[in-house]
């Protein structure tokens, strides 16, 4: 069985307006900024990244209430941005606010 799971926390940097797919499914895209210190071969490594996140369905409607600066943890998977793209995006299926926001 192949596996593709990602759990990532960070801050919403920018976000698009909530829109709907041709099938009527709510869709929200935003950029998540992540900054952490990880251990790699016994050494500290500063991991900084920004990734585009795409959320469908009820989670998209719930996330639409949050603005830039909101801290969240996301659970989902990585996929191509589109069929012909090599760019990766995170497809988030679940989220949790950090610090009780």
Q: What is the number of structural domains in the chain?
A: 1
Residue 76 lies in a domain: yes
CATH classification of the domain holding 72:
2.40.50.140
**% of the chain with per-residue pLDDT over 90:** 94
pLDDT tens profile 14-25: 999 999 999 999
What predicted TM-score, i.e. pTM, was given to this entire model?
A: 0.90
Q: What CA–CA distances, in Å, run from 47 to 12, 36, 38, 60, 72?
A: 17, 5, 7, 27, 17
Residue 1 lies in a domain: no
Q: Which of 95, 33, 89, 19 is nearest to 63 (CA)?
A: 95
Range of the domain at 79: 6-97
Residue 45 lies in a domain: yes
Find out whether 44 and 55 touch, Cβ atoms under 8 Å: no
pLDDT tens profile 56-91: 999 999 999 999 999 999 999 999 998 999 999 999
Find out whether 79 and 92 touch, Cβ atoms under 8 Å: no
């Amino acid at each position: 069985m192949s596996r593709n799971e990602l759990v990532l926390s960070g801050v919403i940097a920018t976000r698009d307006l909530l829109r709907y797919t041709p099938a009527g499914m709510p869709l929200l895209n935003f950029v998540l900024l992540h900054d952490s210190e990880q251990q790699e071969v016994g050494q500290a490594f500063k991991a900084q990244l920004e990734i585009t996140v795409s959320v469908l369905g009820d989670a998209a409607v719930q996330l639409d209430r949050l603005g830039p600066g909101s801290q969240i943890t996301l659970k989902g998977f990585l996929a191509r941005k589109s069929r012909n793209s090599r760019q990766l995006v995170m497809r988030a299926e679940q989220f949790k606010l950090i610090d009780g926001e």
